[in-house]
Structure 1
């Protein structure tokens, strides 16, 4: 049942070939809010038809411009504020996620209270969980990854509720980022005096559906690309990015492979053997992704523009 939030909040659902996952996402949103738009990035699985049949307006991105999640979110946000200029809040949700009942009312309550107190809270996110964490070790890793500390955060993730005004004030997401657009947005919000908070509440159920090693590799390669690009864009504001990039590079050097047991033991004592194994091995795809970014940057500096392509794992 839709609560009393229909005039104040709108949802942006983004997707690319999500199939039945998209049907679950749409249904979960429509149970809690009346205003939503679906943004499609070149799906060929009937996603657009499904969204239309569920009564959603659809924005189809021009395939002549490289697809990114950031571009899709901005397109949906733009559609909402044009059609509903009175909106005060916008909630983004990925098409492979399902909104948890009760989350929206709770999150809106937090933002409204902060707004009344003239606080600096731009947005809130909650706990994202994997739908089937025991289906594969990769899904379990994702479920652990989503469990970030409660409180002020530097990365909201793809599912997040924002106040419209601060989001507009920083220009939304940076559309040319193929990954890492959320920490980039949070960084710009912080530099403008805003904060984003992770609440101690269940928010969404995510379906990573990572069943193959090759999928895990591609996802980590994309993460490495985003880390290197993040360092180039905002390294002066986030020293941790440089440490992460250097760590990936150093531990990927063949002579350092002899020291992997040391790294594995150190991580294992903190996070357990599963995380230790994949964090250690993950240095390689992370470094590959960093190298992808640096090669593209060199081509662009040599006046040979390189098309930015998504690094997909599904």
Structure 2
């Protein structure tokens, strides 16, 4: 696999200066496409000024990252039909200088590796607890894994075999495609090497809430789409979200009842859910102290509990839309 056999597809929507850093980090790529999903911040003009082939998605159709990537890959392969692999990059990520060469070498080791990806890092992990939590989220095991994220090197023949991403998914398109790849004997490989710098740009709890709600929606849709043939982790996440949301609601009700009841025994009983939630918070914080530091560990555990409630609402939204047959719309969290 040579440099000329790999192309790049960047997708974005109103990423501003994050997009500039992303595109600049890919200036050495010979075949490169930027796909824009209705930006109003000059992203299209910026990409053209940096000599990227630009595709503007039709605004009459719903925007999804899956649709953007598929469109970019199709354009890339139309103009460069001999490409063997495509590096996909989200527009809020800056690609590390050595990544492309490292990824190509790892893909060449095994002809059944359909996907190779590395370590995505937050640009400012110490900025706040949200950034620290996302940086930890990107820290996946090294070796063969079940799925990848938005930044990854994809083997073209494998993409063609499974038909690429599912255009209709508003989130979770990467793990969904990976399920289909693995079902056909392809492998997903995490090499742990420095890949991209990401800027999640979360500064408010409402942003974290919407991001977590999108996660719940995505995994509910994936579980419904693939059933028992899907990744067991999807259902585990949903069960955890539903269970801890129920416990936390019971904890709130219990604290209220504690203030109203006079019976000592009943007061102890109604506080049991709150005690369970408290123990879980401390347990989670302790498990992360070594990885993200004591400063953010307790905040992280609190954010995980908030995420459980948001994921539950995402699950409920999917169920409601399935019943009413309403069209899915993007759940966005960035300002």
Name the TM tier (shorter chain). over 0.9
| Alignment check: 8 A CA contact 1:235 1:242 kept | no
Cα separation, 1, equivalents of 2:165 and 2:116: 16
User: Scaled by the length of structure 1, what TM-score is found?
Assistant: 0.93
1:266 Cα deviation after fit? 3.1
Structure 1: state its 5+ residue gaps: 301-305
- 1:220 matched to 2:215? The reply is no
Which of 17, 22, 26 pairs up with 2:23?
Answer: 26
- Give the ranges of 4+ consecutive aligned residues of structure 1 lying more than 6 Å apart after TM superposition: none
- 1:154 matched to 2:146? The reply is yes
Cα separation, 2, equivalents of 1:244 and 1:207: 25
- 1:196 matched to 2:221? The reply is no
Paired residue for 1:291? Answer: 316
Which of 260, 275, 293 pairs up with 2:277?
Answer: 260
- 1:172 matched to 2:164? The reply is yes
2:190 aligned counterpart, secondary structure: strand
* Structure in which a larger fraction of residues adopt helix: 2
1:256 Cα deviation after fit? 5.2
Paired residue for 2:327? Answer: 307
Q: Spell out the pairing of 1:76-87 with structure 2 (5 A cutoff).
A: 76-87=72-83
| Alignment check: 8 A CA contact 1:250 1:256 kept | no
Which of 1, 4, 9 pairs up with 1:12?
Answer: 9
Structure 2: state its 5+ residue gaps: 253-273, 290-297
Paired residue for 1:49? Answer: 45
1:198 aligned counterpart, secondary structure: strand
| Alignment check: 8 A CA contact 1:224 1:288 kept | yes
Alignment RMSD (CA, Å): 1.4
1:206/1:8 CA distance change after superposition, 3 Å: same
Cα separation, 1, equivalents of 2:321 and 2:80: 39
1:250 Cα deviation after fit? 2.1
1:309 Cα deviation after fit? 0.9
Paired residue for 1:251? Answer: 244
1:34 Cα deviation after fit? 1.2
Structure label with greater radius of gyration: 2
Q: How many residues align?
A: 301
Cα separation, 1, equivalents of 2:136 and 2:63: 28
| Alignment check: 8 A CA contact 1:14 1:39 kept | yes
Cα separation, 1, equivalents of 2:282 and 2:4: 53
Which of 179, 188, 195 pairs up with 1:187?
Answer: 179
Per-residue displacement from partner, 1:23-80 (whole Å, max 9, x unpaired)? 111110113x211000000000000011111111111111111100000000000001
| Alignment check: 8 A CA contact 1:151 1:197 kept | yes
| Alignment check: 8 A CA contact 2:146 2:188 kept | yes
| Alignment check: 8 A CA contact 2:129 2:300 kept | no
| Alignment check: 8 A CA contact 1:123 1:196 kept | yes
